[in-house]
Amino acid sequence: MHHSIFGKKLSRTKNERKRLFSNLARDLILHGRIVTSKAKAKAVQPLIEKLVTKAKRGTDADRKRILRSIPYGDIVDRLMRDAKDRFSQRSSGFTRMIKIGNIRSDGSEEVMLSFVDEAIAREPVVYDKPVKKEQGDKNPSSRKATKDKEKKEPKKSVRKTKKEKK
């Protein structure tokens, strides 16, 4: 009987499949896109959609549930931080599959699984500090010495190559 079967086995045991999905989801969150076979992308896409939905809610219980699927705390924190801003306008459909072609070795279809919305770049604001004028020695000879150091250029080597000697 074939009752209550959800998802694809992908010729793997339960633990192998669990780790595969975890690693694919982790790489997608880190890089924003992954290139994989169509079967793997179709199998992991529902998991990623559910993880993003939980991350949008952002409760502690949701964080713990996400950690069950992706056991990397820094990745989960990044997902929780980005999901609220990046996917605030969407209720579903966070990922897309773009067909690339066939894999050369076995002929199976290769796709790029990526997030629909671009990541929001957060750069820290850097304020220019006012430059303080150096108050050097009042002795004019020391100022002259510093100016001479700035003007000197390194000497170029005068060696001749074998071709120039001939």
Where in the chain are the domains?
14-115
Query: DSSP label at 34?
Result: E
Note the pLDDT tens digit of each residue in 34-44.
Answer: 999 999 999 99
Nearest to 97, CA basis, from 50, 52, 40: 40
List pLDDT tens digits, range 77-117: 999 999 988 888 888 999 999 999 998 888 999 999 999 98
Domain 14-115 top-level CATH class? alpha beta
**Residue 3: other Cβ atoms inside 10 A:** 4
pLDDT per position as a tens digit, 49-62: 999 999 999 999 99
CB 131 within 8 A of CB 60: no
